C-alpha cells in the first residue's frame, strides 16, 4: 500500500467494501463478542476457564468477571494460582484490587495477559516474561507409543492422586511438598470438560498431561514428566493424548522458550507472545 488515495473510479474500490461513516467495528473483547470471533479470543476465554474448573473441582474460591478470571487453588507455589485477563488492562489498580480480594497477601499468584500491560511493579508484581501462545490446528497424527510406554486416561480418584504426584515431582513444584492429595486435582475435575492422562514406563507412572475444552478449543495443561523417565517418549505420548482429545478442535497452550521446539515438532505454531506477571508469596 502507498499513502496515495485511489481515484474514485478505481475498479478495486466498490461500495461493498467502503465502510459507512457510521459503522462501528467492535474491539473483540466485549463480553457479548462471539467466543470464536478470533483465534486469540478463543485462547483468552479458554485459559480463563481453566483455573475456574480446577478450583470448582477442589471447592476452592474462584472469580470470573468480564475483565478477568482466576482462582485460589493453593496457599503455596508461585504458579499455583493463575489469573488471566479477559480484556486489555484499562484500570490496573481496580483489577489488582479485585484480585487481591480473592488472593490476599501473602498468597502468591501469577497474572497473564494477551496484551501488553502497564508496569505492574508498583502493585507488587514482578515480570516473569512473555510466553508464546502456541496453537495446533486439527490434522491427523498416528499415536505411536514408544516401546515400554503406556498411556492411560485417568478415570478414578486413586489414579488421579498418582497423576497429581507425578505433576508435582515432574514439573517440579518442590514448594508443594509434602503434597496433600487433592491439593491440585480433585476427582470432580473429571466430571466436566477436563480429561487427564498418565504415562507409564515399564509399568511405573512417569508423565501426566491434561486437556480442558472451552471456547471451541482444547487447552493442553499440567504437562510434566519425572526426571528419570525423560528421553523415553512418555512425555510426548501423554501430550499427544491431550492434544488429540478433541481431534476436530484446535489445541492451544502457553509454552516456555525451552519447551517451544518440542511443541513445534508436534505441529504447534507460535501465534503471539503474552505477558506474565508474578506476585510472590510474602
How many helices, marked H, and strands, marked E, lie in the chain?
5, 13
| pLDDT bracket for residue 16 (50, 70, 90) | low
| pLDDT bracket for residue 141 (50, 70, 90) | confident
With beta carbons less than 8 A apart as the criterion, state whether 125 and 95 touch: no
| C-alpha–C-alpha distance, residues 39 and 201, integer Å | 36
The torsion of the CA quartet 258, 262, 265, 267, rounded to 10 degrees, works out to: -90
Q: How does pLDDT run across 196-252, given as a tens digit for each residue?
A: 999 999 999 999 999 999 999 999 999 999 999 888 999 999 999 999 999 999 999
Q: Is the pLDDT of residue 160 over 50?
A: yes
| C-alpha–C-alpha distance, residues 77 and 130, integer Å | 20
Look at the pTM and tell me if it is higher than 0.75.
Answer: yes
Q: Residue 4: its pLDDT value, please?
A: 53
Which three cell numbers mark 21?
461513516
Q: Residue 182: its pLDDT value, please?
A: 75
Q: Is the pLDDT of residue 1 over 60?
A: no
Domain ranges in the chain with CATH number 3.40.630.30: 138-249
Per-residue pLDDT, averaged over 98-110, amounts to 97
Q: For domain 138-249, is the CATH number 3.40.630.30?
A: yes
Q: Is the pLDDT of residue 183 over 80?
A: yes
User: What is the full DSSP assignment across 94-134?
Assistant: HHHHHHHHHS-TT--EEEEESS-----GGGT-EEEE-PEEE
Amino acid at each position: 500500500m502507498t499513502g496515495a488515495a485511489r481515484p474514485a473510479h478505481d475498479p478495486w474500490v466498490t461500495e461493498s467494501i467502503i465502510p459507512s461513516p457510521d459503522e462501528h467495528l467492535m474491539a473483540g473483547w466485549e463480553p457479548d463478542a462471539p467466543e470464536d470471533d478470533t483465534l486469540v479470543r478463543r485462547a483468552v476465554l479458554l485459559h480463563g476457564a481453566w483455573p475456574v474448573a480446577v478450583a470448582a473441582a477442589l471447592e476452592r474460591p474462584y472469580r470470573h468477571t468480564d475483565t478477568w478470571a482466576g482462582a485460589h487453588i493453593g496457599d503455596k507455589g508461585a504458579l499455583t494460582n493463575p489469573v488471566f485477563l479477559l480484556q486489555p488492562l484499562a484500570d490496573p489498580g481496580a483489577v489488582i484490587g479485585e484480585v487481591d480480594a480473592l488472593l490476599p497477601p501473602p498468597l502468591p499468584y501469577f497474572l497473564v495477559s494477551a496484551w501488553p500491560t502497564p508496569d505492574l511493579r508498583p502493585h507488587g508484581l514482578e515480570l516473569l516474561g512473555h510466553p508464546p501462545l502456541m496453537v495446533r490446528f486439527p490434522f491427523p497424527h498416528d499415536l505411536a507409543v514408544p516401546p515400554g510406554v503406556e498411556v492411560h486416561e485417568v478415570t478414578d480418584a486413586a489414579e488421579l492422586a498418582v497423576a497429581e504426584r507425578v505433576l508435582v515431582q515432574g514439573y517440579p513444584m518442590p514448594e508443594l511438598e509434602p503434597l496433600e492429595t487433592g491439593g491440585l486435582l480433585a476427582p470432580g475435575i473429571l466430571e466436566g470438560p477436563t480429561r487427564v492422562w498418565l504415562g507409564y514406563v515399564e509399568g511405573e507412572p512417569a508423565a501426566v498431561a491434561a486437556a480442558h475444552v472451552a471456547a471451541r478449543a482444547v487447552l493442553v495443561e499440567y504437562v510434566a514428566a519425572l526426571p528419570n523417565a525423560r528421553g523415553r517418549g512418555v512425555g510426548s505420548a501423554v501430550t499427544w493424548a491431550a492434544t488429540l482429545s478433541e481431534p476436530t478442535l484446535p489445541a492451544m497452550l502457553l509454552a516456555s522458550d525451552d519447551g517451544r521446539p518440542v511443541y513445534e515438532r508436534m505441529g504447534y505454531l507460535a501465534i503471539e507472545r503474552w505477558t506474565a506477571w508474578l506476585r510472590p508469596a510474602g
